Structure 1
Amino acid sequence: MPAITEPKLISGNANLPLAKSIARRMSMHRGMSVNLVDGRVERFNDQEIFVEVYENVRGEDMFIIQPTSNPANDNLMELLVIADALRRSSAGRITAVIPYFGYARQDRRTKARTPISAKLVANLIAQSGIERVLTMDLHSAQIQGFFDIPVDNLYASPIFALDIEHNFKGKMADLMVVSPDVGGVARAREIAKRINAPLSIVDKRREKAGEIAEMTVIGNVEGKSCILVDDICDTAGTLCKAAEVLMENGATEVHAYITHGVLSGPAVERITKSVLKSLVITDSIEATDQVKACKSIRIVPTAPIFAQAILNIWNGTSVSSLFETETLAPIYEGMYSRD
């Protein structure tokens, strides 16, 4: 087999703008042009997915950029079919870059006779010929153990820490990081430690799925600028209600930092009408026109961190070095000045 010489990127249709941004960032880092591999990902009339790769990939180190966001089943199937096409074309190694890992919320049996769909998806990915997974902010850490192949889970917290330090300069002493539920405390604590801020929790009780019975704030938020931190915002019901409760408890303003902006159904309308001053999300999921048009929502890029992680995997160097804010600051230089 020929020696692996260059990292090569290929993308499905789930988030082409992010894939192109990653290619541009890699071109900057390497001082040479890095383009997406030429190919086509199409559907037959009955919606079967067809993939054709136009370039030679024999022996190459291939990276498939494809979040499994809405429509989750279509995007997951695209990922698997692309992987199969590359494997049958004798690619040297195939890494799936999945900025948003769909089905991650189904990571355990919550009731009798229910599936663990995250494990099923992990099996499908491993069996398709993919040898490594690169993702961001998995819904729960144990999902890494569902795979029998290496999984690199990047974190948005150092990017968010840089963004908070930049946008709340001079007001850092008034900040309070808040977890919108007990399950997300570790994630919120991580950002609180990075920006040296106190931590509060909103305790959420549900009567049934999709309905919140009551919320209680654990901690004193009076006179504080609160920053809600979570990994996924779907319909934004919990987020908007939590912001409301914080304001009722004396917070001066509420902002939110969410890694994956699923933002389905009435989410954007809810955010627009809510007491939230701003919602910051990443581009792990391609933003809809409605999301882009919303003045309350701001999108921070993940292309710099993914581009560096891909280069580190290709070079065989540390990916965990990207967990530190100090490592990311130069990568995001020009966007966030730490002076």
Structure 2
Amino acid sequence: MTKVSFSELIPVAPLKIYAHSSCANLGLLINEDIIHSRNNDNSAEKTHALTRLGYQSETYLLDADCPRFGSGEAKAKLNESVHGKDLYILADVTNYSGEYQSSGTNTFTSPDDIFQDVKRIIAACSGKTYRITVILPYLYENRQNRRNVLESLDCATALQELVSMGVDNIITFESHDPTVQNAIPIQGFDNFTTALQFIREIAQTESDISFDKDQLMIVSPDDGGMGRAVYYANVLGVDMGMFYKRRNYTAKENTHGKNPVTGFEFLGNNVAGKDVLVVDDMIASGTSALDTAYELKKRNARNIYIAATFGLFSEGLERFDKAYEDGIINRIYTTNLSYVSDELKSKPYYANVDLSKYLSLIINTSNHDTSVNALLNPTLRIQELLAEIKK
């Protein structure tokens, strides 16, 4: 991780973090890391101003919640003042494990429920904060980012809603379509990558992997993720390939309007005997990732690793279990930026990449009103990491 010194800097305002129940564990890890960082920062003792700003605190987590009525309706309740605070609201809209009672029936939370809670917290602040930053690791409705027929533009609408409510900055990771920020062109929008953390975790987990052009290849499962694969290939100095799906555009296969796939075509060098890292922003149903893995195995790839920032696994884990048992995939990496079930954690082929320290650094840097450009572009740190690995 890039070393950032705050020794000569003073926070713009006292820090507070609201971690929604959808990512309570991640919020605790971030809070612990910031406490540790600031307790070891000698600058906190240099001026009385820092003490008054609450620079060192027993906790930076905001005491607030979003209780529900018996009808299923909800409200936000702040149990402490946010006056003059630099508030960061953290929520995982993909977390489907939350429950609430509606008319005596247990109901699981949806992305819409969680996003509404974010808006409720903002509304409860009543404009008293110094600044509000919303952190949605998985950008709400980012898959509904463009209009092909008469359909809603949910992501753009959501971003505009947040800005209209007084949000100063929005932070996300591996946005499915970063151009959606054009919906709020004069507002802050930071889209962070996770390449550094994945490369580090893979290097630590896979004892026999070699980041060498003759032994490793990066593959994108489709043309939409080609930019991500190009970046990995460039920083690692290896080749890349891409699959594209040949589709029948005269038919529709489901209610989402997708055209059925009639075949796969691979663009790239020979993968025979090489380890392959398949990189993507998310695993939703898993069809693209698994189809890619099976096609690579047909081409005699050695080991196949899948790295996706968000592991949604919306159609269960059975197909992944079978792919592992059949020797198709060796490991799947996802992050703790989205909900990870206990079932998934127990799988022998699964590895979780912790992003809490990265997020705490982002929050700490922003709270000190320091540029996050170095954090947005981790290329130099990746090169340093590769140099350490080669030693």
TM-score by length of 1: 0.91
Large movers: runs of 4+ above 4 Å = 325-330, 336-339
Q: Check the 8 A contact 1:41/1:51 in 2, yes or no.
A: yes
More deviation in 120-129 or 26-35? 26-35
The structure whose Rg is larger is: 2
Distance 1:7 1:193, change over 3 A: same
Identity rate, percent = 23
Matched, 1:213 2:221: no
| Candidates 67, 74, 89, aligned match of 2:92 | 67
| Candidates 213, 220, 227, aligned match of 1:179 | 220
State the distance in 1 between where 2:260 and 2:198 align: 29
Which amino acid in 2 is paired with 1:227? L
Distance 1:182 1:45, change over 3 A: same
State the distance in 2 between where 1:99 and 1:62 align: 16
Distance 1:205 1:13, change over 3 A: farther
Q: Check the 8 A contact 2:15/2:60 in 1, yes or no.
A: no
State the distance in 1 between where 2:382 and 2:355 align: 11
State the distance in 2 between where 1:68 and 1:22 align: 18
> What SS is found at the alignment partner of 1:85?
helix
Q: Check the 8 A contact 1:180/1:229 in 2, yes or no.
A: yes
Distance 1:338 1:308, change over 3 A: farther
Matched, 1:253 2:303: yes
More deviation in 297-306 or 36-45? 36-45
Which amino acid in 1 is paired with 2:243? V
User: RMSD of the alignment, in Å?
Assistant: 2.2
Matched, 1:81 2:124: no
Shift of 1:91: 1.1
Q: Check the 8 A contact 2:14/2:84 in 1, yes or no.
A: no
User: Aligned residue for 1:189?
Assistant: 230
Instruction: Tell me how many residue pairs correspond in the alignment.
Output: 330
> What SS is found at the alignment partner of 2:66?
strand
Shift of 1:277: 1.0
State the distance in 1 between where 2:340 and 2:19 align: 17
Give matches, 1:31-110, under 5 Å.
31=39, 32=56, 33-70=58-95, 71-86=110-125, 88=126, 90-110=128-148
Matched, 1:151 2:201: no
> What SS is found at the alignment partner of 1:49?
coil
Q: Check the 8 A contact 1:260/1:285 in 2, yes or no.
A: yes
Matched, 1:198 2:247: no
Q: Check the 8 A contact 1:212/1:238 in 2, yes or no.
A: no
Q: Check the 8 A contact 1:67/1:99 in 2, yes or no.
A: yes
Distance 1:189 1:328, change over 3 A: closer
> What SS is found at the alignment partner of 1:232?
strand
User: Aligned residue for 1:324?
Assistant: 378
User: Aligned residue for 2:337?
Assistant: 284
User: Aligned residue for 2:34?
Assistant: 26
User: Aligned residue for 1:160?
Assistant: 198
Write out per-residue CA displacement over residues 135-186 of structure 1, whole angstroms, 9 at most, x where no aligned residue.
1111112022222420111111121222234345662221100000011100
User: Aligned residue for 2:48?
Assistant: none
Write out per-residue CA displacement over residues 168-221 of structure 1, whole angstroms, 9 at most, x where no aligned residue.
566222110000001110011111122221101111234442853321221221
State the distance in 1 between where 2:21 and 2:383 align: 30
User: Aligned residue for 1:303?
Assistant: 356
> What SS is found at the alignment partner of 1:42?
coil
More deviation in 67-76 or 90-99? 67-76
Structure 1's unaligned 5+ residue stretches are: none
> What SS is found at the alignment partner of 2:21?
coil
Q: Check the 8 A contact 1:69/1:262 in 2, yes or no.
A: yes
Shift of 1:35: 3.2
Structure 2's unaligned 5+ residue stretches are: 1-10, 40-55, 96-109
State the distance in 1 between where 2:111 and 2:127 align: 26
